[in-house]
A and B are shown apart, each in its own frame.
Chain A
Amino acid sequence: MQAGIILLVEDNHQDELLILRALGKVNLANQVEVVRDGQQALDYLFCEGEFSQRDCSKPLAVMLLDLNLPKVSGLEVLGRLRANQRTKLLPVVILTSSDEERDLVASYTGGANSFVRKPLDFKEFAETVAQLGIYWQAINKSVAVR
C-alpha cells in the first residue's frame, strides 16, 4: 500500500523547519509537501495554478492546516475543500498557536477532524508533531483522497 502524503500548510518559515525536523526524526520527512499560504493550499489540492502539473495520483494522508494564513485563511481553505466532492473526506488537522474558544468551535464546525495547539515548549512541540505524523500517516485509516 502506498503511504499518503502529509500536506503541511504553514506560512512561518521557522515553524516549518521545526515541524520538518520533528517529522524527520520519525522518518516521515520525505512524505511531506509544504505550501505556504491558503491559496497555494487550494491550488495544490485542486491541481490548479502552479500545481496544475503535479502528480495528482498520489493519495493524501492528512492536511496539517494553520489558521492564520496569508491570502486565504485556514478556515476558508477548510470550507472550500469540504465543499468539494473530491476533497470533502480529506482528514484535516488544525495546527495553530491559537487557543481561542471561538477558533476551536469554528474549526470543528467547519469540519476539522482534529484541533491541536502548537505547544510553546519546543520539546513538547516536536513530540506532538511527531505523534501527529505517525498517527495520521501510519495508524489512521482514511478514505483515499487524491
Chain B
Amino acid sequence: MSMTPRHRFILLITALYTVMGLLWIFFSDQLLSSFTDLSSMVWLSTAKGVFFIVASAAAFFLAMRAVPSDDAKNSGQPLDLLYAAITPVQRQQWLGYLFAVSLPLLMLLVRSAIAVPIGDRPLLMLFMFPIILTAMLGGLGPGLTATVISALGTAYLVVPPIHNVKIAASHDLIQWGFLLVNGVAVSFLSEMLRRSQARTELLNNTLEQRVAKRTVELDAANQELEELNYAIAHNLHTPLRALSGFSQILEEEYAGRLDQQGQDYLQEIHQGAILMGQMIEAVVRLSRSSRGVLKHEQVDISALARQIQCFYEQQPDPRQTVRWQIEPGLTAWGDHRQLKLLLRNLLDNGVKFTGKTTDPVIRVYAEANAICIADNGAGFKMRHSGKLFQPFQRLHRQDEFSGIGMGLAIAQRIVQRHNGSLQLSAEPGKGTIACFRLPAAPN
C-alpha cells in the first residue's frame, strides 16, 4: 500500500525536526562547553533555549502551512510541497543576504568550537556547507557573498597565521583557492538551477492554458480539413456527371457508328465513372461521419440491428438466406444516427462476406462490455489487417467481393469520435468478428 502525500509529508517533517533538533543540541552544547565561567554559561543556555523555541515555532508554522489535505490528489514530493510553502519568503532577497552573512559566521563559530578535537587543520571543506545552502536559497548574489565572507573569514581566523589575511603554507593556499573556486561555481550553478526551476514553474502554470488553446486550434484545422474533403468530393460530382453522361449519350446515339472495340472502350469509360462515383460518395459519407455534433443518448442496439435485418430481408436478393441471431436488450451510449451508421457498416460487411457461404449466420451479441458482430463468411488473414481501417484499403479483390473499402474506415471514425475502441479478428474461411466498446453513460 502506498502512502498518501499527506502521510509522506508528515513523516518527513517529523524526521527532519528530530535530526535538526539533535544536531542543534549536540553542537550548541559543544559550543557552550568552551565557556568556563558558570554565569555566562547559564545565560547562554537560556538564550540557546529561546532561540530553539523561536526557530522551531517558525519551522512549525512553515511546515504546517504546507501539509497537504487528506484527499489531495497531488502526487508531488513532500520536499516540493515544503519548497512551495517557503517560496514566498525565499523570494525576498534580503533574507538570502542575511543567510549569506550569518551562515558563514555561524560556521566560523562551529569551526572554532570543534578546534579542540580536530586540532589545527583548517578543514576548509566545512565552509562549503554555508555557501551551498546560501546559494541554493538565495541564488547568485547571496552565494557569492557567502563565498567571499567564508574566504576572508577563514583566511583571517582559521588558516595560519591567525588574525592575518595572509596564508603562509602553500597547501593551505591551494585548499583556500579550491574553496573560493567551488563557492563561485556553486553560486553560478544554483542560480541557473533556480532560473530553470522558475521557468518550469511558469511553463507548468501556463501549460493547461496552452494545451487548451492548441486543442482549439487543432480542432479548427481538423474541421477545415473535413470541410475541404467534403467540398472536393462534392465538386467532383459535376465533371463526373459529364463524363458518365456524355459517354452514355454516345452509347445511345452513336453506337451504330462504333465497331465492337469502340463500344467496349465506351463501356470501360462508363464503368470507370461508376466506380469513381461510388468512391466520391464514400468520401462524402466518411467526412460526414466525422462532422457534426454528437447527441448522446441511450441507444437500443438490438432494435437498430433488427431494423437493418429487415432492410436486408426486403431486398430482392434470392441468394441471401442469412440467419440472423440478434441478442435482445443490447444498448450503448452514443449518437443514435452515428451508431446506426456504425452498425450498418459492420453488418453490411457481414452480409457481403458471407455471400459465398452456405448457411450464412450473422450474430450480434455482447461480450465483456463490448458489442460484437460476428459472421461465418470469408474472413481474412490477421497479418493483412494493418491497413483495414484506412480508406480505400481492401483485403479482397473486386472479382471476389465488390466494394471500395470505406466501411471499416467509417466505422472506426465513429467509434473514435465516441472515445471507444473497435477491434477485428478473423480467420480465412471461418469468418470475422468485429467488436466495439464505447464508454458507459455518465452518471
| Residues A121 and B249 in contact, CB atoms below 8 Å apart | no
| Residues B234 and A97 in contact, CB atoms below 8 Å apart | yes
Interface bits B262-288 vs A (CB < 8 Å: 1, else 0)? 000000000000000100110000000
Interface bits B205-238 vs A (CB < 8 Å: 1, else 0)? 0000000000000000000000000000011011
> Could you say which of B234, B242, B244, B248 contacts A15, with CB atoms under 8 Å apart?
B242
A144 at the interface (CB under 8 A from B): no
How close is B266's CB to chain A, nearest CB, in angstroms? 13
Contact of A18 with B234 at beta-carbon distance under 8 Å, contacts A120-B277, A123-B248 already known: no
Please name the residue on chain B nearest to A122 by beta carbon.
Answer: B245
| Residues B239 and A120 in contact, CB atoms below 8 Å apart | no
| Assembly CA distance A122 to B239 (angstroms) | 12
| Assembly CA distance A126 to B253 (angstroms) | 15
Residues of A within 8 A of B281 (CB): 120
Interface bits A104-140 vs B (CB < 8 Å: 1, else 0)? 0000000000000010111101100000000000000
A27 at the interface (CB under 8 A from B): no
Residues of A within 8 A of B244 (CB): 121-122
Residues of A within 8 A of B41 (CB): none
Please name the residue on chain A nearest to B280 by beta carbon.
Answer: A120
| Residues A122 and B237 in contact, CB atoms below 8 Å apart | no
Main secondary structure of the interface of A (DSSP, over half): helix
| Assembly CA distance A122 to B241 (angstroms) | 6
| Assembly CA distance A96 to B246 (angstroms) | 19
Interchain Cβ contacts within 8 Å, total number: 38
Residues of A within 8 A of B237 (CB): 97, 118, 120
> Could you say which of B241, B277, B280 contacts A18, with CB atoms under 8 Å apart?
B241
A98 at the interface (CB under 8 A from B): yes
> Could you say which of A12, A14, A97, A98 contacts B246, with CB atoms under 8 Å apart?
A14
| Assembly CA distance A133 to B95 (angstroms) | 92
B341 at the interface (CB under 8 A from A): no
B361 at the interface (CB under 8 A from A): no
B240 at the interface (CB under 8 A from A): yes
Interface bits A72-112 vs B (CB < 8 Å: 1, else 0)? 00000000000000000000000001100000000000000
> Could you say which of B238, B245, B249, B277 contacts A97, with CB atoms under 8 Å apart?
B238
Residues of B within 8 A of A12 (CB): 238
The tally of residues in A whose CB lies under 8 Å from a CB in B reads 14
Residues of B within 8 A of A123 (CB): 248
Please name the residue on chain B nearest to A120 by beta carbon.
Answer: B277
How close is A36's CB to chain B, nearest CB, in angstroms? 14
Main secondary structure of the interface of B (DSSP, over half): helix
Contact of A120 with B234 at beta-carbon distance under 8 Å, contacts A14-B246, A21-B249 already known: no
> Could you say which of B241, B248, B277, B280 contacts A14, with CB atoms under 8 Å apart?
B241
Interface bits B302-339 vs A (CB < 8 Å: 1, else 0)? 00000000000000000000000000000000000000
| Residues A122 and B248 in contact, CB atoms below 8 Å apart | yes
| Residues B234 and A14 in contact, CB atoms below 8 Å apart | no
| Residues B239 and A14 in contact, CB atoms below 8 Å apart | yes
| Assembly CA distance A62 to B238 (angstroms) | 23
| Assembly CA distance A119 to B242 (angstroms) | 12
Residues of A within 8 A of B235 (CB): 97
| Assembly CA distance A120 to B234 (angstroms) | 10
Please name the residue on chain A nearest to B292 by beta carbon.
Answer: A101
| Assembly CA distance A122 to B237 (angstroms) | 11
Please name the residue on chain A nearest to B273 by beta carbon.
Answer: A122
Q: Indicate the member of B239, B242, B281 with the most A CB atoms within 10 Å.
A: B242
Residues of B within 8 A of A21 (CB): 249
> Could you say which of B240, B246, B248, B249 contacts A120, with CB atoms under 8 Å apart?
B240
Residues of A within 8 A of B246 (CB): 14, 18
Contact of A125 with B240 at beta-carbon distance under 8 Å, contacts A98-B234, A120-B277, A120-B281 already known: no
Please name the residue on chain B nearest to A21 by beta carbon.
Answer: B249
How close is A87's CB to chain B, nearest CB, in angstroms? 27
Please name the residue on chain B nearest to A97 by beta carbon.
Answer: B237
Please name the residue on chain B nearest to A119 by beta carbon.
Answer: B241
| Assembly CA distance A98 to B241 (angstroms) | 14
Contact of A125 with B241 at beta-carbon distance under 8 Å, contacts A21-B249, A120-B277, A120-B281 already known: yes
Name 16 interchain pairs, CB-CB below 8 A, sorted by A.
A14-B245, A15-B238, A15-B241, A15-B242, A18-B242, A97-B235, A97-B237, A97-B238, A118-B241, A120-B241, A120-B281, A121-B277, A122-B241, A122-B244, A123-B248, A126-B245
The 9 lowest CB-CB distance pairs between A and B, nearest first, are: A14-B242, A122-B245, A97-B237, A122-B244, A18-B245, A120-B277, A122-B248, A12-B238, A120-B237
Besides A97-B234, A118-B241, 5 more A-B contacts (Cβ < 8 Å) are: A14-B238, A14-B246, A18-B242, A97-B238, A125-B245
